Amino acid sequence: MGKVSDISAYYGIVIHRDFVPLFADERYAQMFGYDSAEDIMALPSLLELIAEDDRDEAISAYEAVMSGQARPKVRVYENYNRDGEQFSVLTIDHLTEWQGKPALQITLVDFSPQIAAEKKLQQSEQRYRLLTESSLQGIMVHRFFEPLYCNQAMANILGYDSPEAVLKLDSLLSIIPEENQQQAIQLHERLIQGEVDSNSVVTENVRRDGTSAWLHISEAVVKWNGIPAVQSLMMDVTQQHHDQRRLEFQANHDPLTGLMNRRSMSETLTEEFAISKRSLQPLCCILLDIDNFKQINDRFGHSAGDEALRLFAIESLKVLRNGDYLCRWGGEEFLLLLPNTVQEQALLIADRVREHLAELEVTKDEHKFSTTVSLGLAMLTSYDSSPEALVARADSALYIAKERGKNRVELAPQVYEL
């Protein structure tokens, strides 16, 4: 069966004058549950086919059209067939002539199937709402970031009072940080176009009050009002995200000074060593050791020693350039790594650090004191086979600086060079 005949099954015609039937086709008869058009023609009045409550309106509409007061128009009615089953029709009036006198021709289109399909869709959406409204997981449906559905948990996650407040947003892009929006748009398009079935990411979103919420988002395509849309299931993992960041920070930093720790610097050393070897860029390593630190602890107490370590860490950073690294290598020893820096430059920097730290006054409780540092500098050579070899040469230079009276910078002996 073609589409046209499917439609014509819902399409009937009747002509009447003062509701007395003058012509009816078979489809019209079937719509109202009659066996044939003849049964319609046998009716004294078509008003019998119209629900009692609608009859007055039908009569005045008829009179208005026939008298020329109203133009023929399209109307929608709910009708009942002979078996009491409701059906929905769209009627189109035409003024016509029947046997030389004016009459009204009505074309009826039964659109009950469409209404039934829509109801089914509404019911399935109703079920979806019932299932998701009480979910503790944030659930949202959107199409090209236009919000279509949002449950209470989602509104809570984003800091809105109600789902309605979220649905009022013109675009959900406003809850995505600007730098992530392009990626979000691309992901959405890939989903809608069926290039991927689903995706799952942990990403930053913006709450109503402007604070960050880290969300685990799983997305998949669903049909919403019969048209593809994206359903996002969201879980607030902000706390876990911060915990993880804190653990990562703790794993890589010294708790006393906040500087990189030895473990983290070892990784950086390995990377910078490889880069320098590959690209033949200069790399300098400086070991810095606070002079007479034992005495400081002994005279002013361990916490005064800690204060000196903290201050020297902060103040050394001020002298270094962007791209230089500083770590607490251990005890009262710091390691400075200067990528893309030749020995002459590194020597200047080392001396600047030494001078700057020597000028400082450490204050702890009633104590005020100053101290100096010694530094050993080594520049990477082709004979350094590992990062450890480079550090070992800087350590030798530091030893010489201590031997030669402290408060000075010494260069590593180029013992391996031929």
Query: Which residues form the interface with ligand GTP (CB under 6 A)?
Result: 256, 289-294, 297, 302, 305-306, 309, 331-332, 402, 406
C-beta of 277 vs 406, nearer to ligand GTP: 406
Least distance (Å) from ligand GTP to the CB of residue 300?
9
Q: How far is the CB of 252 from ligand GTP (least distance, A)?
A: 18
Helical (H) or strand (E) element with 326: strand 325-330
Please, which residue, 105 or 257, has the CB nearer to ligand GTP? 257
Instruction: Annotate 114-136 with three-state secondary structure.
Output: HHHHHHHHHHHHHHHHHHHHCCC
Which burial class, exposed, middle or buried, applies to 38 when counting CB atoms under 10 A from its CB (0-12, 13-18, 19+)?
exposed
Per DSSP, helices labelled H in 10-100 are 26-31, 37-41, 52-66
Cβ 396 to ligand GTP shortest distance, Å: 15
Rounded to a whole number of angstroms, the minimum distance from the CB of residue 200 to ligand GTP is: 44
**Closer to ligand GTP at the Cβ: 7 or 256?**
256
Which residue bears the tokens 């659109």?
111
Q: Which residue is nearest to ligand GTP (CB)?
A: 305
CA dist., res. 156 & res. 49, Å (int) = 54
**Nearest distance from residue 284's CB to ligand GTP, in Å?**
22
Closest approach of ligand GTP to the CB of residue 402, in Å: 5
* C-alpha–C-alpha distance, residues 413 and 410, integer Å: 9
Residues 6+ apart with CB under 8 A from 105: 13, 14, 15, 93, 94, 95, 96
For the bound state, the minimum distance from the C-beta of residue 246 to ligand GTP, rounded and expressed in Å, comes to 22
CA atoms within 13 A on the CB side of 341: 25
H-run or E-run covering 13: strand 11-17
- 3-state DSSP assignment of residue 364: strand
C-alpha to C-alpha distance for 201 and 232, rounded to whole angstroms: 11
417 catalytic residue (yes or no)? no
Pick 266 or 297: Cβ nearer ligand GTP: 297
The kind and range of the H/E element at 215 are strand 212-224
Residue with smaller CB distance to ligand GTP, 172 or 290: 290
Q: Indicate the residue among 72 and 305 with the shorter CB distance to ligand GTP.
A: 305
Task: Give the nearest distance from C-beta 404 to ligand GTP in angstroms.
Answer: 12
d(CA 114, CA 103) in angstroms, rounded, equals 31
If we measure between CA atoms, which residue out of 315, 317, 297, 295 comes closest to residue 305? 297
Residue (309 or 397) nearer to ligand GTP, CB: 309
- Which two three-digit tokens encode residue 303? 């916490």
Catalytic residue chosen out of the listed positions 307, 332, 355, 417: 332
Report the residue number, 157 or 373, with the smaller CB distance to ligand GTP: 373
Contact 204, 213 (CB under 8 A): yes
Place of tokens 């000028």: 359
| Beta-carbon contacts of residue 163 (< 8 Å; ≥ 6 apart) | 149, 150, 151, 152, 154, 155
- Active site (catalytic) residues: 332
